[in-house]
Amino acid sequence: MLAAGCNKAQPQTGNQPISQSSFAKATEDKSANQQIVQATTTKPSSDVMGAPVITVTQTVEGSNLNKLSDVIPAGENAVDLLKADHQIDTKLYNGIGEMVLSIDGIKPDSKHYWEFFVNGKSSNVGPSSYVLKNGDKIEWKLSLISSSGE
């Protein structure tokens, strides 16, 4: 894929995500002489090169680098998204993929780990194996490692 990494969302200024443009259109109802305002939000389905894109949200517990949303190339995984917005350390394991060791300098202690949630549920696959879908809500939380003796 030639342009797979070229379409990451750029840092934004202000409160609105760069992926959305909102506008209000006013029309006048002449019989009632009232003004009706209709708000419309548009989301891009492709980037300027025509490649498909998706919109996702991501939050990292304890980080001040969270955004309202991201527009990313379709086909990226959760680790790709995390790398786009945060400083992370990972370790690659054969058969499992990348394991997140730290996010924005936050390292779990020996009793915790970075747990990855998709749409409010703990993921049953690793973050480098999860291909993001339009509208996904990704969360990263420090979770307690459970032991089999408890």
Tens of pLDDT along 78-128?
999 999 999 999 999 998 899 999 999 999 999 999 999 999 999 999 999
- Please state the rounded mean pLDDT for residues 27-53: 51
Under the banding of pLDDT at 50, 70 and 90, the label for residue 23 is: very low
Please give the mean pLDDT across all residues of the chain.
76
What percentage of the chain exceeds 70 in pLDDT? 65
Cα–Cα distance between 92 and 79 in angstroms, integer? 12
Can you say how many angstroms the Cα of residue 2 is from the centroid of all Cα atoms in its chain? 22
Q: Following DSSP, what letter does each residue of 29-63 receive, concatenated?
A: ETTTTEEEEEEEEE--SB-TTS-BEEEEEEEETT-
CA distances from 10 to 18, 24, 92 (A): 8, 25, 27
Domains of the chain in sequence order: 53-144 (2.170.130.30)
- Measured CA angle at 24 (ends 19, 29), to 5 deg: 155
Cα–Cα distance between 79 and 146 in angstroms, integer? 24
Say what the pLDDT of residue 49 is.
Answer: 63
